[in-house]
Amino acid sequence: MHRFRASRADLICGRSVICAATLATIVAVAHLHGTQPAGPFEVVLAGGRVMDPASGLDGVRHIGIRDRQIAAVSTAPLTGVTTIDVSGLVVSPGFIDPHAHAQSLEGNRFQARDGVTTALELESGAMPMNDWYQSREGQALLNYGATVGHISSRIAVMHAKERWSEISAMRQDTSDPRPDWTHKKATPAQIDAMIGHLERGLVAGALGVGMGPAYTPGASREELLRVFELAARRKVLAFIHMRSAGEVEPGGSIDALQEVLANVAATGASVHIVHITSMGLGQTPRLLSMIDGARARGLDVTTELYPYTAASTYLQSALFEPGWQGRFGISFKDVQWAATGERLTEETFTRYRARGGFVVIHMIPEEALRAALTHPTVMVGSDGVPLTNGGGHPRGVGTYARVLGRYVREEKVIDLMTALRKISLMPAQRLELFVPAMRRKGRIAVGMDADLTVFDPARVIDRATFDKPAQFSEGIRHVLVGGTFVVRDEQLVPQVAPGRPIRTQP
């Protein structure tokens, strides 16, 4: 089974992956010849500062696009049916979000304005897979894909009296705060049925298996181990929201990470752990060192962060079982009701928990965020969720502009090329050994998909806030998905739907 080695964190050169040397050669040939293939290109991005994390290219180039692909990267001017002068702007690979829950037109629009070209639902996943993909066909602004979700399989097996295909994977039945699918231990036969659902989803082209045991405390260690065994047997990537968070042990983030690492070691599965900072909180550096140690010993483990000091989830979920204040080191006032922006009290917490809805949880130390962002193997994912009446968490709206504006330009926590690697190339690399379509993304080179983001490095910034999240990012000038503009001159392009499905098979 292929491995994502810690010692080769930036680029993997293997028989199934285009390596840095190959890309550099392709780009160099285009530069040396300075000639244009026959006929004008459909689109030319002229004179921009092209930054390609895969090859290390950082220079003024002209990009020609034809048939949804990059057809030329040239030092010489090119002729296009449509030519856009992008001088003074950065042209980068389109941003790839591996953790996008807002799989709707509204969610796509916010993310497009934030520079995202591919939005994947890899944590919660979906089910049935064919229905999920067909519902988006011909209607998506961005490229899309999903894992098959363990939570959904649990609902299908343990809550089958409802039409499970219509139940959100993160939904709680608020009339019953402890429904079977969240809290009840499954029988061996029920686990077998869950594995059957997951396997059918993988056969249908799911991008891997998504797990969220924090939302299903009834899932035993045996049940989770069975899911890891399936991922290893099918040679797919597993994505997991770990079982527990916080600094109270046992039962905190170290405990949860040890369970994941033990399952990887026992099965040989490959795993991606979502939002490490909201799980580790002040212990995030320790979790990162544990992951480093596991990778150094051959385990295939990666992780991500979002660049905010607050988390977000459903107030009615199992994360808010009694004792949550101690686990997270916070109180009622640190929890914000997304619909109104109000901070909670004991009385409003009880009332809103019975009703159900999203909250923003102010609990992540800035030091933990910076530790993850500066770590060389940690990528970025938004964990963006749909806004509720214009309220919610800003991460699904401003994650990528926030990295580029605040943490690159203003605070210089990381440099620009490093940031682009974390938001484009690294997500593509993590998936491409399992999902062939991702080999053509996250790079600027001839033959790669024309998913491109053009931004002003002096202006790019997020405008979404915790109080007013529904505000577009600024400085993202143009965004192209498969060579089609979805954002042009910082405005959404109407009546286009160039997004294409991404599956493990054509």
Rounded CA-CA distance 211/241 in Å is 6
Inter-residue contact 281 to 365 (CB < 8 Å): yes
- List pLDDT tens digits, range 356-398: 999 999 999 999 999 999 999 999 999 999 988 778 899 999 9
What is the CB neighbour count within 10 angstroms for residue 326?
A: 11
Handedness of CA 343, 345, 348, 350 (dihedral sign): positive
Rounded CA-CA distance 40/77 in Å is 11
**Nearest CA among 376, 417, 375, 373 for reference residue 399:** 373
Stronger pLDDT, 203 or 19, i.e. the higher one: 203
What is the CB neighbour count within 10 angstroms for residue 163?
A: 9
What is the CB neighbour count within 10 angstroms for residue 255?
A: 15
Cβ contacts of 258 within 8 Å, gap of 6 or more: 290
Task: Tell me the CA distances in angstroms from 141 to 113, 257, 314, 487, 504, one per residue in order.
Answer: 11, 36, 27, 10, 20
Relative to beta strand 270-273, strand 491-492 is unpaired
Residue 181 has pLDDT above 90, yes or no: no
Task: Tell me the CA distances in angstroms from 186 to 127, 263, 359, one per residue in order.
Answer: 19, 19, 29
Helix (H, G, I), strand (E, B) or coil at 6: helix
Task: Tell me the CA distances in angstroms from 98 to 122, 171, 344, one per residue in order.
Answer: 6, 21, 31
Rounded CA-CA distance 210/229 in Å is 13
Predicted pLDDT at 2 = 38
Q: Which of 24-28, 49-53, 375-379, 449-453 has the lowest mean pLDDT?
A: 24-28
Predicted pLDDT at 32 = 37
> What's the mean pLDDT when you consider all of the chain?
90
Q: Which of 10-19, 57-66, 133-142, 438-447 has the lowest mean pLDDT?
A: 10-19
Predicted pLDDT at 152 = 94
Q: Which of 49-63, 146-160, 233-247, 447-461 has the lowest mean pLDDT?
A: 146-160
- List pLDDT tens digits, range 270-323: 999 999 999 999 999 999 999 999 999 999 999 999 999 999 988 998 889 899
Confidence bin at 95 (pLDDT 50/70/90): very high
Measured between its terminal Cα atoms, the distance across the chain in Å is: 22
What is the CB neighbour count within 10 angstroms for residue 83?
A: 18
Enumerate domains of the chain plus CATH numbers: 6-93+444-492 (2.30.40.10), 95-433 (3.20.20.140)
Residue 16 has pLDDT above 80, yes or no: no
Inter-residue contact 453 to 481 (CB < 8 Å): no
Q: What angle do CA 189, 191, 194 make, to 5 degrees?
A: 115
Predicted pLDDT at 389 = 79
Residue 409 has pLDDT above 80, yes or no: yes
Structure tokens at 461: 């910034």
Predicted pLDDT at 483 = 98
State the pTM of this model: 0.90
Residue 29 has pLDDT above 70, yes or no: no
Predicted pLDDT at 247 = 86
Structure tokens at 300: 């295939």
- List pLDDT tens digits, range 37-89: 566 999 999 999 999 999 999 999 999 999 999 999 999 999 999 999 999 99
Confidence bin at 505 (pLDDT 50/70/90): confident
Give the mean model confidence (pLDDT) for residues 409-434: 98
Residue 8 has pLDDT above 80, yes or no: no
Residue 259 has pLDDT above 90, yes or no: yes
Inter-residue contact 466 to 361 (CB < 8 Å): no
Helix (H, G, I), strand (E, B) or coil at 420: helix
What torsion, rounded to 10 degrees, do the Cα atoms 155, 215, 142, 475 define? 160
Predicted pLDDT at 506 = 52
Omega into 128 within 30° of 0, i.e. cis? yes
Which helix (H) or strand (E) covers residue 149, if one does?
strand 143-149
Q: Beta strands of 170-314 (E only): which ranges?
A: 209-211, 237-240, 270-273, 301-305, 310-314
Predicted pLDDT at 23 = 44
- In the DSSP assignment, the letter for residue 441 is S
